[in-house]
Amino acid sequence: MLKDITIGQYFPGDTFVHKLDPRIKIIIIIMFITSLFFIKTFPPYLLILAFILFSIWLSKVPFKYVLKGLKPLMIIIGITFVINVLLTKGEVLFEIGPLTITKEGLSQAVFMALRLIFLITGTSLLTLTTSPISLTDGIEKLLSPFKRVGLPAHELAMMMTIALRFIPTLLEETDKIMKAQMARGADFESGNIINRAKNLVPLLVPLFINAFRRADELAIAMEARCYRGGEHRTRLNELKLKKQDIFAIILMSIFFGFIIINRYTGFI
């Protein structure tokens, strides 16, 4: 399951989506997330699905690779589904002992599950098509107006990007530790969920030690390159908006604007 986690991983490419300005991609993702919470019926989800499929096609990221990121979160999606099915009141479809399943509960459960799936799939495209350096520059530029009130924009952007970048690194370390302990007779796959969770506890100590070691190595490497934070920092490639960026943000603003307006007008 650890290999299925794609959060923080970058899929190199030279496509239209990869070439978009990171600031534009971050803004589009924010609009995408906002629009999801304005949807109250199923038909607009068809537009969201079309947007995600079109974005995956443009980015040329393998569809199976995108879906692979959903596997580790299927438990959360399943729990959300069950909670909505059992706790939403309405027209009773059938009863199983003390449990009652309603028409409204089933509809709400499917609706919330789809929202989570679209949310995870859509946002994962940001890290899959944006390199860590570009993502740092994009976040810093978007936060730069808040420097006037004392917000350390560069430091925050650097911390967020390093955190994302460390996710696949720590997962790789965890996989190595698990294989090393399994070679010594440890069992992480048998038993129920509680027993399997208890068996993972011995992984925490070596994992934390390796994490601190990697953090220390990263700090030394940054100091060796004379890194001193955001003050007077220069960049090899300055971010500049291009025609394709303006076109993308206008098109997406119209698209997501239509979805939000539909919330109050009910076109579809």
Of residues 25 and 87, more confidence is placed in 25
Q: Note the pLDDT of residue 6.
A: 62
Tell me, yes or no, whether 232 and 246 share the same domain. Answer: no
pLDDT confidence band for 111 (50 / 70 / 90): very high
Host domain of residue 219: 152-236
Same domain (yes/no): 174, 258: no
Domain count, the chain: 2
- Residue-wise pLDDT tens digits, 190-217: 766 677 767 777 788 888 888 888 888 8
What is the pLDDT at residue 49? 93
pTM of the shown model: 0.78
What Å distances lie between residue 139 and 35, 120, 232, 254, CA to CA? 21, 20, 17, 23
**Same domain, residue pair 18 and 126:** yes
* Average pLDDT, integer, range 140-167: 80
Is there a single domain that holds both residue 96 and residue 190? Answer: no
DSSP string, 146-212: GGGGT--HHHHHHHHHHHHHHHHHHHHHHHHHHHHHHHTT--SSSS-HHHHHHHTGGGHHHHHHHHH
Of 154, 128, 186, 181, give the one whose Cα is nearest residue 5. Answer: 128
Same domain, 220 and 250: no
Q: Are residues 190 and 77 in the same domain?
A: no
What's the pLDDT score for residue 55? 92
Asked if 32 and 122 count as a contact pair (C-beta separation under 8 A), the reply is: yes
The tokens for 112 are 């919330």
Same domain, 13 and 113: yes
Residue in 188, 170, 168, 169 with CA at minimum distance from that of residue 178: 188
Judge whether residue 53 has pLDDT over 90: yes
> Based on the domain organization, do 5 and 108 belong to the same domain?
yes
Does 75 map to a domain? yes
C-alpha span between 124 and 29 (Å, rounded): 10
- Give domain status of residue 136, yes or no: no
